[in-house]
Amino acid sequence: MAPLMLAIPSRDVLAAPPKVVATIMPIHALVSGVMAGVGEPDLLVSGYNSPHNYQMRPSEARSLSAADVVVWVGPTLETFLIQPLKTIAGDSHVVTLLDSPGLTVRSFRGAGIWAEEERKHAGADEHEDHDDEEDHDHHHHEGSIDPHIWLSPDNARVIVASVAEALSVVDPANRDRYRDNATDLEARIAAMDTRIDNDLSAVRDVPFIVFHDAYQYFERHYGLRSEGAITLGPDRIPGAGRISRLRALIRDRGIACVFTEPQFEPAIIATVIERTTARQGTLDPLGADLAAGADAYFAMMERNARSIAACLGRQNPN
């Protein structure tokens, strides 16, 4: 694999493991796995905080300032970090995962209810949507990069290899450990992938709607049938016109389940599915409530798979 960074000064002997900061839970989990037996990365954005508009605490700014390596997805996700990477973390080695060789990168969807339909009705909904929206800056634009890359197991393997390569350059004394850990992680991802594929095999053709367009890497990898999203961005509340069209979509296409996300008020989902036969489920692209560590990535992926199988197939998710 080609190195992610050029002209990174390596250190043959380290007094301590490199100080590494990872931005969000799924990426932190994969970095933790690569660093097992060497050190523990710091997690920057924890809990239900949004990586779009996160406000760092002083302790997190100090962690960023002291970092030897910062691993982030890229400017289309952690928008709050763009300027601090130039100022606070100016001497850190920055690994931008969206630039990883071999990564599959997709654009946000722009057809039908995903976006085109919203533009079609923009004139009718403009006033109500502007009244209801909480944030105009973070909705998804057709054609812009979808940064939720970790939800594809294939991409997760690329991320692991990229992180191992970057750490091996910065910390060559632990190169073998990083590469061995990456090999173990890739095998674990493959085993997880097989389990999830089997769990979802019976519901591939069952239509559903997600809260926002964050899951296409997962959906495409497993051949699932997502028909649309409640909102065009996680910080937007749909107006009455969009809710009416979503209800029509649920009826016309036989939508079995509408998924919310734990950090958002589920009442909007109840409103959308009212007087329809659709059920309500929950998906979480970040694993916000999970304990930090290498296991969090696998727990997040498999919990989402169980939730999909449960809601679409009327199974018990526990």
d(CA 68, CA 88): 12
> What pLDDT shows up at residue 168?
97
Residue 286 · residue 24 · CB < 8 Å:
yes
d(CA 282, CA 270): 12
> Above 60 in pLDDT, residue 8?
no
Q: Tell me what the pLDDT averaged over the chain comes to.
A: 86
If asked whether residues 186 and 81 sit together in one domain, one would say yes
**Prediction pTM value:** 0.86
Angle 181-182-185 (CA atoms, 0-180°, nearest 5)? 85
> What pLDDT shows up at residue 238?
81
> What pLDDT shows up at residue 50?
84
> Above 50 in pLDDT, residue 81?
yes
User: Does residue 181 belong to any structural domain of this protein?
Assistant: yes
> What pLDDT shows up at residue 89?
84
> Above 90 in pLDDT, residue 74?
yes
If asked whether residues 181 and 293 sit together in one domain, one would say no
**C-alpha closest to that of 74 among 33, 39, 105, 43:** 105
> What pLDDT shows up at residue 263?
79
> Above 80 in pLDDT, residue 301?
yes
> What pLDDT shows up at residue 132?
39
Beta strands 93-96 and 225-229, pairing class: unpaired
Kindly state the tokens that stand for 155.
């991409």
User: Does residue 15 belong to any structural domain of this protein?
Assistant: no
Give the model confidence (pLDDT) of 28-50 as tens digits: 999 999 999 999 999 999 988 88
Report helix, strand or coil for 70. Answer: strand
> What pLDDT shows up at residue 130?
40
* CB-count burial class (<10 Å; 0-12, 13-18, 19+) for 315: middle
pLDDT above 70: percentage of residues in the chain: 83
User: Does residue 176 belong to any structural domain of this protein?
Assistant: yes
162 pLDDT tier (thresholds 50, 70, 90): very high
Residue 159 · residue 100 · CB < 8 Å:
yes
> What pLDDT shows up at residue 107?
92
Give the pLDDT mean for 173-184.
98
If asked whether residues 157 and 255 sit together in one domain, one would say no
119 pLDDT tier (thresholds 50, 70, 90): very low
Beta strands 42-43 and 225-229, pairing class: unpaired
User: Does residue 136 belong to any structural domain of this protein?
Assistant: no
Beta strands 69-72 and 93-96, pairing class: parallel
> What pLDDT shows up at residue 143?
52
177: containing domain: 20-100+150-193
> Above 50 in pLDDT, residue 190?
yes
Per the structure, the count of domains in the chain is 2
Kindly state the tokens that stand for 95.
């690994």
d(CA 289, CA 272): 26
**C-alpha closest to that of 131 among 49, 213, 241, 270:** 241
234 pLDDT tier (thresholds 50, 70, 90): low
Q: Which of 75-79, 90-94, 106-110 has the lowest mean pLDDT?
A: 106-110
1 pLDDT tier (thresholds 50, 70, 90): very low
Give the model confidence (pLDDT) of 195-224 as tens digits: 999 999 999 999 999 998 999 999 999 999
Higher pLDDT, 128 or 70: 70
User: Does residue 143 belong to any structural domain of this protein?
Assistant: no
Kindly state the tokens that stand for 180.
């061995």
Kindly state the tokens that stand for 141.
């634009």
Angle between helices 25-34 and 296-313 (to 10 degrees): 130
d(CA 163, CA 177): 12
> What pLDDT shows up at residue 186?
98
Domain harbouring 24, CATH code: 3.40.50.1980
If asked whether residues 296 and 260 sit together in one domain, one would say yes
If asked whether residues 35 and 61 sit together in one domain, one would say yes
d(CA 243, CA 300): 29
Give the pLDDT mean for 302-315.
92
If asked whether residues 226 and 251 sit together in one domain, one would say yes
Q: Which of 98-112, 118-132, 241-255 has the lowest mean pLDDT?
A: 118-132
